[in-house]
Structure formats: C-alpha cells, structure tokens
Amino acid sequence: MNLSVHRLIPTISTCSSFFIRRRLAHFTFFKDQPDPAHGPTKEMNLCQTIQNALDITLKNDHTAIIFGEDVAFGGVFRCTAELRPKYGADRVFNTPLCEQGIVGFGIGAAVAGATSIAEIQFADYIFPAYDQIVNEAAKYRYRSQNLFNCGRLTIRAPWGAVGHGALYHSQSPEAQFMHTPGIKVVIPRSAIQAKGLLLSCIKDDNPCIFFEPKILYRSAKEDVPLNEYTIPLSKAQIITEGSDITLVSWGTQVHVIRVVAQMAAKENISCEVIDLRTIVPWDVDTICQSVSKTGRLLISHEAPITAGVGAEIAATVSKECFLNLEAPIERICGYDIHPIPHVFEPFYFPSKWRCLEAIKRMINF
Amino acid sequence: MNTYAKLLIRLQPSGRQLLQQQQQHEQIASSLPTVFSSVRKASSGTTLEYDTPKAYKLHMLEKGPSTHVSCNREEGLEYYKKMQVIRRMEASANNMYKSKLIRGFCHLYSGQEAVCVGMKAAMDKNDSLITAYRAHGWTYMMGVSVTGILAELTGKKTGCAEGRGGSMHMYAPNFYGGNGIVGAQVPLGAGVAFAHKYRGESNVCIALYGDGAANQGQVFEAYNMAKLWSLPCIFVCENNGYGMGTSTARASANPNFYTRCEYIPGIWVDGMDVLAVREATRFARDWCTSGKGPMIMEMATYRYFGHSMSDPGTSYRTREEVQDVRKSRDPITSFREKVIEANLATDEEFKNIDNEVKKIIEDAENHAQNDPELHVDELYSHVYSMRPENFKIRGCDNFTFKEISK
C-alpha cells in the first residue's frame, strides 16, 4: 500500500478541497537510527518488524502460541505472515470470531504456562473482551495472592486513525485500559521501537496490551536490527531535548509533535519532545523532571480529550510540578465525539497547527 | 483497506484442496431441474406455482413451511424488480467505490437478494428488523430509496443518515440498522422483540446475523433470553458460506446454524429461492406471533463479491465456484426463468423492467455524486439528547468549546 507521506496542508475552510486531498496522511514519519550495538540491520516496515519479533519469539520460546482471527494466513495486516508454515498449525492458529472467547482462552493458556500472544483484529473490537481483561487478566495475581498469574499473556491490536477507518476501525482505547491496574499498555511510534517494546511485553511477567498504530504498518520504514533486543517498559524516551516546553505523546501523534517542535524552533521556542511509550504504568519521573526544567507541558493524543490519558498526566504533573509551572498544562486531543467520523476525519485531528497555537499560548502566558 | 486487498495471499495448497473437498460435499443440490417441470405442470396463466421439496430442513419442528409455493403476476414482477434494483445498486456502489467516490468500508449484498426480498414480502409493515453491516439490500427493502442509500455511501446530505453513517449505519422507521460490531445486533433484536410483546403488538423483530457472527457469545445470550421470555423474535442467520475469508467448516464446530440452539426450533431455507424464503418467513412469523416464542432461520445463500470492497473474494474460494453459483443458482435469473416458464410475463416485459431499474439507479448515482455534503458544524451534533445546561463539546484545545445546538 502506498501511503504517501506528506505534510498536511494548513487548515482550510472548505470541505471539497479536503475531499480531494484526503489521501495525504496527516503526519510525516520521522525515522530513527538503530543502535549500532544491536548488530546488523535490515530495512523493514512496522508490520514486517512485528512479524520478525514474533518469529524470534516462536523460535526461542517453545511454549509460545499465536492466535486470533485470520492469523494463520498472515492476518489482515500481514503481521503473522509465514509463521504458520514455519512453526506449525499447533502454534499459529485461527480462532473463530469471538473476542471475549479469544482473550479468555488466552488468559487460561497463559495461566497454564504458555506464552500466549492473542491478536484482536482491530482495537475497536476489543470491547467484548473488556470484561476478561479487566476482571480476569488484570486481577489474577492480586486475587490469588500471587499463587497464579497470567503474565504470559500479550494482546496485540491495530490501533488508531488510518484515514478512512470511520467509527469502528479508528479507535484509540488506551485510556479505557489505563484505568485498570494490573495490566500494561504499550504503544510504539516506529518499527525499531515496536520490536523492542513487543519483545519486552512478551517477556514481561504481567499481561500486556500492545497497540500497533495501523497507519504506520507500511509507512514506518526503518533499518531495524535483526537480532533480538528489548526496550524497557515504563520508560519514556526523550527524543529531542529542549528548554522552553515539554511535548508528550505516543504512537502516530509523536510524529506530529516532532513536526510541531521543528515549527516552534523557527520561532525560537525550544521544545523537549517525549514519547511516553508505556501508557500504564507510565514514567512519571521522566515527564516531571522534564517539566521541572521547562515549566510548560503540552500533551497530545488522538483519542477524545475528556478523561483521555492526557488528563491523568496533567493531574499528576500539576501536583508534582506545581511550583515549576509557568503556564497551565494544555491537552490537544480529539474532540469529545466518537472517533472518528468518516466524513469529518480531517477536522477531528489534533493537528500540528492546533498544537503550535497552544505552544504559543503557553509561551506567552 | 487496499492493504488487505493487495496482500491477501492464497491459502496453503492443502488448505484450498480441503476447502474444495468440503464444498463439494456440502454442495446444496440445486432445486432447478425438478422445479421447471413442476412449474410447467402446476402453473396456470395467472400464477406461478411449484413445489420445493428440498427448500427446507427442520430442527425441533414436526411440520415446516409449505413446500408448495406460488405467486401471481404482480408479485412476480415486483419481486424481480426489487431484486434487480438491489443487484444494480450494489453494482453501482462497487463502481463508485473503485473510483474513490465512496471511501471507508463497503460490504455488498449481491447474490443474497432473494433473502431480503422474500422475507420482506412476508413481513407486516410494522415488523422491525435489525441486521449487521451487509445492510444495503435491507435498507432498500425497509423503505429507503436508492438515492438515500447511494448518497449515504458517498457521504452526502441527502443520504438516509445525512452522510454521517455511511455504509454500515443506515436506518429507517422500524429498521434499526446497520451495525458494525459482529454479533452485537442480535441481543438488540431480542430487546426490540420484547418491546413489541410488551406493547401487545402482533409484530415480530427479525434479527439477522452472519455465519461468522454465529459463534459470538452474545448470540447465545440473546437466544436464552428470547426463549425464556417467549419473545417474538426471528433470529436469521444469512449463511453465505464465508465469514470474511474463513469458510463455515473452518470456523464452526457445528456449521448447521439452524440447529445451534437446542431449545429454539429452527428452519434451514434455500436462500436463493425468493418464494421459498417468503413461505418460510410466513411460517416463522405465524409461529412467533402466536405466542410460541422465538424461532431461528438459516438462509443458505451466497455472496458474489468479497467480504468488503477491500477483499477480492478469490483468495479463499475459486473463481469457478463463484461463476458456478451465478450460473446455476442465481436468485434473479432463476426466478425470471420460472416466471417466463409459467407464462406470467415475457422477456420483453423483463427488459422494460431492467430499463426502469437502470434509470432509477442512474438518477440516484447523479444525486450521490452531486448533492452537497453535510456541514462541518454537524461534527459535534447529536452526541447527547437534551444537552445539559451550558454543556459544550470540548475541542482540540482548551479554548475550543462548541455550543451544541442539537
């Protein structure tokens, strides 16, 4: 799929022009450089990288199983391609169309000792499984006083806006899982990050949900190390250092705020860009230390603003860094409507222009 | 997504062979050879009548729908026209999608027309219906014009949901959509049936779902509630053989969907025969409205297109299979042949109907392509009913609050 990666034209007033230019993505993908210590690399996009990470897992962990809807032939996004011929039908298999059943089954298999990697076909479909995740997976260790746990469970799901997904193929439900102690929620911004984070999730002793930004599956092409490597969970990454304002985001939106940082630099505003990476448990220290330094915080995410992840970050930071703040914390997020109405998708986004406007407001406060 | 289209690979060779073997074993015997002879024998000049001994299979029922079906000339021409409208409308949607006038997701009903036309013919005008995302045919049958459907697909204001809903979210009086999440509409259907019973109406709710959805837990929850409370709900499984790319044999331990509930009677119906469908629906409707509780129907049908516009539909089944169904079991051509065989109408008249249909579709396409779009202020409308005092929808920053007017 040739998802051409151009910058979004400035916000315009008429619908029709947007209609023509709808094919352009709303962000520019920023490539990262691989760590030379990780050895030889290969140019791969996000879905090939996920496939590579799963391949490594199946190879090294003989208890690993991958299951979900249509994963056997490779999955609707090809992330599990070629795994079944290589590792066998008893390790990579299809489930019927039943999300609650898939996650419940995954929890059981994990408790019994298998490394279960469940795929939910789209994050929008995860809700039938919400009870299993919140009431079973998250609570297993706690309610059994550590006698049992389903830490070997990892749930993967494609996440976020894709340009034409509309209401049921565009959701970003991370906030609804952040509110559940006992699970970890991780969202990568790129291929190199995804491999390290996914391998960490699989190895982690807690049930993890790994959301994969579906718009990046083809467009996030980087030189990804072929060896196995992990990236620590609950550690945010400072991508660019700065002194005037801290920008925090995750997933696709990180690329938007990186552009915003460049735009702000032209106006002599130095932005510190942070990728949160793990939504829960999130890295309070890195964010707070950064805000103590800069005095301003902007959080941006695709999901609707009310009670989004930004709300939790804003509340915590305003308590921890109250005396360091130079301006109120701003959240530039989606509207409080259902993400994302097909016909209005370009208007829904927390675009770079809105972010820049917020930065200027905070600088001039 | 185009991704899905370009990257769906063929199944493993052994997998395809297995599929083909299973399909051969499960081939629904075409009722055509026996039908034609009985058509000629039974039909007089004013009615089409024939026997359909193989059109039904029963589960927990002593007696089933009548296997002798008939219709008169008006009905025949009306059913043909309606099926043809749906077929052409879906073809138009297919073309518009390919020229990027329709975006997003689009699931076409071509091949399954006999199910909605046949069922609606037996429904009362106050019966309710709810279905999943393959909803265009049903939307038309529940009263929305072709313009209302095509304009909705292209996102125009003249669409039945003013362009907000798109392919999967079309609604009409007594028609509760149009639902995206697989299986979620079935318990809703049970609830609507409850409303009919509560209000003392002698109406049913028809809750449709597919062979893929038949394995969702909530479907069984709905069965239990409907039977426990004797709800006038007809659960209809439109079994077109494939849940996206997975054949029923590979998805279901018991692919006889009409037998899936051991306490609700079920009927399997040949879903390619519009009169058999109508007869079976009459039977089921009588059952439910006489207080005997819910019923399950499985419509054995077929879809010619893939699961959605992103699916070519050929990586999990052969082209020959699709063409074979088109040739031997197509609901529209087989019905047309029967009507002509019974001397109810001529080829000429059918051609005229086809031309009328063509005009309807062209007019609708025109509207769909040229009507205005919904205004951007509708971005924040209809989130809530009565908005609370001073409630505003928060926007993308702390300073954008939209006063919502509705």
ipTM value for the complex:
0.73
pLDDT at A19 over 90: no
Give the Cα separation of A119 and A71 in Å (integer).
8
Give the Cα separation of B274 and B118 in Å (integer).
5
Which among A227, A273, A295, A235 is positioned nearest to A60, based on CA atoms?
A227
Å between B357 CA and nearest CA of chain A: 29
> pLDDT > 90: what percent of chain A?
87
pLDDT digits (tens, 9 = 90+) for A75-107: 999 999 999 999 999 999 999 999 999 999 999
Indicate if A255 belongs to the active site: no
CA distances from A27 to A11, A256, A278, B113, B295 (A): 14, 5, 21, 43, 51
Same domain, A125 and A242: no
Give the Cα separation of B77 and B116 in Å (integer).
16
Same domain, A193 and A249: no
**Identity at A80, one-letter amino acid code:** T
Give the Cα separation of A238 and B379 in Å (integer).
35
Same domain, A177 and A105: yes
Å between B125 CA and nearest CA of chain A: 31
Containing structural domain, residue A120: 38-225
Contact at CB, A15 and B373, closer than 8 angstroms? yes
Give the Cα separation of A302 and B311 in Å (integer).
28
Same domain, A56 and A122: yes
Q: In the listed set A205, A225, A245, which residue is the last one of a domain according to the structure?
A: A225
The residues, any chain, with a CB within 8 Å of residue A133's CB and separated by 6 or more, are A103, A126, A155, A177, A180, A183, A207, A209
Q: Are A97 and A91 in contact (CB under 8 A)?
A: no
Contact at CB, A330 and B398, closer than 8 angstroms? yes
> pLDDT > 90: what percent of chain B?
75
| The total number of structural domains that make up chain A | 2
The residues, any chain, with a CB within 8 Å of residue A112's CB and separated by 6 or more, are none
Same domain, A66 and A166: yes
- Picking from A215, A340, A343, A353 by the largest number of B CB atoms within 10 A of its own CB, the best residue to mutate is A343
Return the C-alpha torsion angle A342, A348, A349, A355, nearest 10. 170
Q: What is the CATH number of the domain that holds A275?
A: 3.40.50.920
pLDDT digits (tens, 9 = 90+) for A262-302: 999 999 999 999 999 999 999 999 999 999 999 999 999 99
Q: Is residue A28 in some structural domain? A: no
Q: In the listed set A225, A253, A288, which residue is the last one of a domain according to the structure?
A: A225
Q: In the listed set A176, A204, A225, which residue is the last one of a domain according to the structure?
A: A225
Q: What is the CATH number of the domain that holds A176?
A: 3.40.50.970
pLDDT digits (tens, 9 = 90+) for A112-163: 999 999 999 999 999 999 999 999 999 999 999 999 999 999 999 999 999 8
**Identity at B215, one-letter amino acid code:** N
For residues B385 and A79, the model is more confident at: A79
Q: Are A303 and A331 in contact (CB under 8 A)?
A: no
Q: Which of A169, A335, A351 lies closest to B380 in CB terms?
A: A335
Å between B243 CA and nearest CA of chain A: 8
| Residue A238, both tokens | 């400072």
Summary count for chain B: helices (H), strands (E): 14, 12
Q: Is residue A43 in some structural domain? A: yes
CA distances from A304 to A26, A176, A187, A349, B221 (A): 17, 11, 17, 10, 32
Q: Are A254 and A275 in contact (CB under 8 A)?
A: yes
Same domain, A159 and A241: no
Q: Which residues of A touch B166 (CB under 8 A)?
A: 166, 342-343
The average pLDDT across B185-191 equals 95
Same domain, A86 and A123: yes
pTM (two decimals): 0.82
What was the pLDDT predicted at B399?
Answer: 62
| Residue B155, both tokens | 């996102």
Question: Any bridge partners for residue A118, and if so which?
Answer: A67, A155
Same domain, A213 and A276: no
Contact at CB, A85 and B12, closer than 8 angstroms? yes
Same domain, A218 and A311: no
> Going from the N-terminus, what domains does chain B have, and what CATH number goes with each?
59-374 (3.40.50.970), 376-405 (no CATH)
Q: Which one of A169, A272, A302, A345 is the catalytic residue? A: A169
A256-289 in b/e form (b: 16+ CB < 10 A) is bbbbbbebbeeeebebbbbbbbbbbebbeebbbe
A137 DSSP assignment? I
Indicate if A169 belongs to the active site: yes
Q: Which residues of A touch B186 (CB under 8 A)?
A: none
Same domain, A267 and A347: yes
Same domain, A220 and A241: no
Q: Is residue A197 in some structural domain? A: yes
pLDDT digits (tens, 9 = 90+) for B114-153: 999 999 999 999 999 999 999 999 999 999 999 999 999 9
Same domain, A265 and A219: no
Reduced to 3 states (helix: H, G, I; strand: E, B; else coil), residue A333 is: strand
Which among A113, A122, A114, A99 is positioned nearest to A66, based on CA atoms?
A114
